[in-house]
Amino acid sequence: MAKTYLQRVKKALRKNTLNRYRDIYLKWYKKNRVLKDTVLMESTHGTDFYGHMLFIAKEILTNQKYEGKNVYIAVEKSKLNVVKDRLKHQGVSIDDPNLHFVLYLDDKYCELLARAEYLFNDTTFFDFFIKQSFQIYTNIWHGTPLKKLGKYTGSVRTMANVQKNFYSADYIVVSNDYTKEALIDSYNLAGVYRGKIIVAPSIRNSVLNNVIVRNAVRRRYNLKGKNAIVYMPTWRGSATGTVFENKQVIETVKYLDASLKENQIVFLKLHPFEAEQHQIDYSAFKHIKEFPTDCETYDFLAASDQLITDYSSVMYDYMNTKKPITLYVYDKEAYYASRGCYEDIEFYPFPKVRNKDQLLKSLLEENKAKYIDTEFQKKFVGLDQFNGAEELLEFLFERTSEKKLHLQSYEIYNHKETVIMCVGALWNNGITKALINTFDAIDTKKRNYVIFFARKNLSVLNEYILFNLPKGVTFYPVPGKILADLKERVLVRHYSKNEWFKFPGSKKIVDGVYRREYRRVFESLKPDHFIHYTGFERKYAEMISAVKGLPLKTSIFVHTDMNAERLNRGSSISWKMLTNAYNSADNVVLVSQQLRKDFEKTFPKTRGKIKIVNNFLGSKLIRENSKESLFTTLLGVPVTYANNTGFEQKFNKLLGHSYVSKNLPSVSQYRSIINKHYLKDSQNFEKLFPFITKHFDEFRTAIETKEKKYFSANNPLVYTMSEISGMYSKTALRVMESLFDPSVKVYVTIGRMAKQKRQDRIIEAFTQIHRINSKTRLIIIAPHGSLRKETINWIKNSTCSEAIFLLGSMSNPYGVLKASDAFLFSSEYEGLGLVVFEALALDKDVITTYLPETVEVLGEKTALVSKNDDQDFVNKAILYEKHGFEKEMFDFAGKDDQSIVEFESLFK
């Protein structure tokens, strides 16, 4: 209890401290006054000051052309003296009146962040930063990446603030085309980034061949006659976690210390996080020393004689020296599996060693050949030369033509219209499906579409959607929170939470806050259109009202009956903010003509700007997705509830409780589900699941195809019949057996567990069906919802609970839907029952309640329609079970063509 309380106190203190920084920054931001010829420089969030930033600072402070510029270096207090000493060794006078030091995140730093004319960073500024119109922001990327970046690191959340900083930057500086392309792809810059990417000589690399620096550093650290070896292991952590390899490093240096030649010294440079967590007693070693903390890293590399590293970008930089490089890659397979890399270092022309013996042998070799590979070197350090910092500043400060310099600028913006779209958390629901269908149907190359969502709201389970977007559509996880002072925060909170809060002047202040939020997040993209696609998030609803008057066309979608939503969802909807948005937007977009009458009556000011854009039905995409095998569709799918009581005894009796383990580390996460029950013999499995057994060849093909796609498995595991039951839950096996069995009639429904969806009505209807035909099953696919407990109880209390399966989220439910016999849809209201048309696309019989918006599109005889009444829905379900239903085919092509024309009207 005490620990929990302490954690809450610490969290509150951190929050208050950050709010203080925000408030100070905001005070100066509002003043909007530039400090001319003022340069704010920051490296690694103030934890140090080295590399590119150090040499840029040196060039500004020692070159007479820039004597009028005031340089402010932001650094943490604990590093201040170290940075001052480092500058002294670079020949920079600490007493220079143009040189100033500010403590990172103190009051002066916050002022400079809002006012300095020039901003330099090698990582990111805090997410509250908003680049002023008078500021020039240069982000110098800190190295050539081998490890995957941005969206490829395992969670798109981690890329958010870097992406925001890149969008804000006037210049992104890299040292080769390889890095340029990696950043463009990894941080979603293609087509939409408005600044320039500069491919220039690596600034920190300029010193690597400086003989004067080399000799000075060797004298300073008594390296005469010594063979100085630098060992720089990569940090095994990530943006979301920390992994320490200190034990392996200590074992390695101990081994080397006992065997190196008399004149050899290894200088060990750990990542700062490693060094802080695990202290090493260097006094115990003869040949091992700590990398000097009072010397700039690249100055010391210039003084060294060879390098040991693994997956670090320093390998590329060090090529400039033509000195030996050894890659110590004892954990390559595990590292590549956990991080992902752009290239395979097996094809790199450096010696690669896997153990301590090989490493030692590499270091002891006499007259080791120097590294020479012209093409490889050209790819990574082809532009590097002595005056890297000088040339970059000539370009940035003096606007010297790049033709006279060893650099090239690239414009990434494609000059198409940019559309930003609020898409919520991409929950597995009808609105998300409608969005996916839209992008599948329209020409996404015509404009730049940027879908955005709050970083903190996106579930990892939904990230797969982002990696399947078509060309022309990208995504932006929005970092941070609204920048507002205390008074504004209180007012915005009351305004958004309380319908009654409408005091004079309050909306003006709120709109000012949201207009500032628009500038914080989106202004750098200079969007032409702002579409609130989900139509509910109050923050972005109010933003539509706030940006009225800007050169920006705004639209807000209405996917359902808003009066019914207000009754059902209560205070979770801000009626006031939605009304503001509807009244202010250029387009109010209804997904059905049937919604219009009541909507105009409720919101009379929207008359004249309502547009109807019928949802795209996505039939082609649905049919394509439905081709996936049930064996992979149901692999690992969560089961919310199933009554397996009667089945359990038979299963355990025939199949037992043994365990199987497969030693396949490269796909261990995927195959961990194998470590469940497996069969004593396949004959028992055939008794219990005869129809799954008949599809065993399909099972093997589907699983192996999945492995090859996701894991590049050259030698897939050969599965046997005795392992199938170890890969699936009992419920999944029962579901598959029912779907494969031609004598069983399977009904399916898909929708969240919410009052609107009326699963209770479906369960009651199926109960009556099951009384008529015991060989019927009901599969409910419900990814989430507020009525989870109630839904489970409805199933438990039915008389056929063993015939009902309640499944959780499925990324692709269409294989299950295709294999079923009929689809049940019982909503009380909808904008458009999109899932009805998904079922029709797969030629399923549909029983649905009468929903004007849906029936308007359906037409006659394509579905069996009941009144929006419990008993009539049950009656129609019974009628269908007894006599079936002859349906007419639905014209999907015609509807989608109409929807494309309607959607395009939003941009006219």
Report percent pLDDT > 70 for the chain. 90
Average pLDDT over residues 297-305: 96
Question: Rounded distance, CA 166 to CA 160, Å?
Answer: 10
Note the pLDDT of residue 668. 41
- For residue 415, give both structure tokens: 């000059």
Could you give the 3-state DSSP secondary structure of residue 769?
Answer: helix
pLDDT band at 856 (very low <50, low <70, confident <90, very high): confident
Average pLDDT over residues 696-703: 84
Average pLDDT over residues 439-464: 91
Under 8 Å between Cβ of 491 and 510: yes
pLDDT band at 389 (very low <50, low <70, confident <90, very high): very high
pLDDT band at 664 (very low <50, low <70, confident <90, very high): very low
Under 8 Å between Cβ of 852 and 828: no
Residue 302 has pLDDT above 90, yes or no: yes
Note the pLDDT of residue 565. 86
- For residue 628, give both structure tokens: 């996936």
Residue 710 has pLDDT above 90, yes or no: no
Note the pLDDT of residue 594. 87
Under 8 Å between Cβ of 192 and 217: no
pLDDT band at 652 (very low <50, low <70, confident <90, very high): low
523-553 per-position pLDDT tens digit: 999 999 999 999 989 999 999 999 999 999 9
Could you give the 3-state DSSP secondary structure of residue 104?
Answer: coil
Note the pLDDT of residue 12. 58
78-113 per-position pLDDT tens digit: 999 999 999 999 999 999 999 999 999 999 999 999
Average pLDDT over residues 569-588: 93
Beta strands 408-411 and 196-199, pairing class: antiparallel
Average pLDDT over residues 595-606: 94
- In degrees and rounded to multiples of 5, residue 569 shows phi and psi of -100, -15
Note the pLDDT of residue 373. 74
Note the pLDDT of residue 799. 92
pLDDT band at 144 (very low <50, low <70, confident <90, very high): very high
Per the document, the length of the chain is: 908
768-818 per-position pLDDT tens digit: 999 999 999 999 999 888 899 999 999 999 999 999 999 998 888 999 999
Note the pLDDT of residue 240. 43
Positive or negative torsion for Cα 582, 586, 592, 594: positive
Under 8 Å between Cβ of 70 and 37: yes
Residue 624 has pLDDT above 70, yes or no: yes
Note the pLDDT of residue 705. 77
Residue 278 has pLDDT above 80, yes or no: no
Under 8 Å between Cβ of 421 and 533: yes
Chain mean pLDDT for the chain: 88
Question: Rounded distance, CA 184 to CA 191, Å?
Answer: 9
187-246 per-position pLDDT tens digit: 999 999 999 999 999 999 999 999 999 999 999 999 999 999 999 998 776 444 444 456
335-369 per-position pLDDT tens digit: 888 778 999 999 999 999 999 999 999 998 865 55
Question: Rounded distance, CA 548 to CA 269, Å?
Answer: 54
Average pLDDT over residues 854-876: 88
Note the pLDDT of residue 662. 32
Beta strands per DSSP E along 186-342: 196-199, 227-231, 264-268, 288-290, 306-309, 325-328
Three-state secondary structure readout of 630-657: HHHHCCCCCEEEECCHHHHHHHHHHHCC
pLDDT band at 672 (very low <50, low <70, confident <90, very high): very low
Under 8 Å between Cβ of 165 and 121: yes
Residue 675 has pLDDT above 50, yes or no: no
Question: Rounded distance, CA 801 to CA 822, Å?
Answer: 19
Query: In Å, how far from its chain's centre is CA 146?
Result: 19
Name the amino acid, one letter, at 716: P
Three-state secondary structure readout of 33-60: CCEEEEEEEECHHHCCCCHHHHHHHHHH
Note the pLDDT of residue 708. 66
Under 8 Å between Cβ of 302 and 320: no
Pairs from 285-293 (Cβ < 8 Å, separation ≥ 24): 285/253, 285/254, 285/257, 286/257, 287/256, 287/257, 287/260, 288/253, 288/256, 288/257, 289/265, 291/230, 291/232, 291/267, 292/221, 292/267, 293/82
Note the pLDDT of residue 676. 39
Could you give the 3-state DSSP secondary structure of residue 850?
Answer: coil
The secondary structure of residue 406, as a DSSP letter, is: T
Looking at 122-159, list the stretches that DSSP marks H as alpha helix, in order from N- to C-terminal side: none
Q: Which residues of 635-663 are buried (b: 16+ CB within 10 A; e: fewer)?
A: bebebbbbbbeebeeebeebbeeeeeeee
Note the pLDDT of residue 206. 93
Q: Which of 334-338, 401-405, 748-752, 861-865 has the lowest mean pLDDT?
A: 334-338
Residue 663 has pLDDT above 50, yes or no: no
pLDDT band at 680 (very low <50, low <70, confident <90, very high): very low
Name the amino acid, one letter, at 764: E
pLDDT band at 616 (very low <50, low <70, confident <90, very high): confident
pLDDT band at 293 (very low <50, low <70, confident <90, very high): confident
In the block, which residue shows the tokens 């939904």? 462
Using N-to-C axis directions, what is the helix angle for 2-31 and 107-115, rounded to 10°?
Answer: 40
Question: Rounded distance, CA 833 to CA 839, Å?
Answer: 11
Residue 464 has pLDDT above 90, yes or no: no
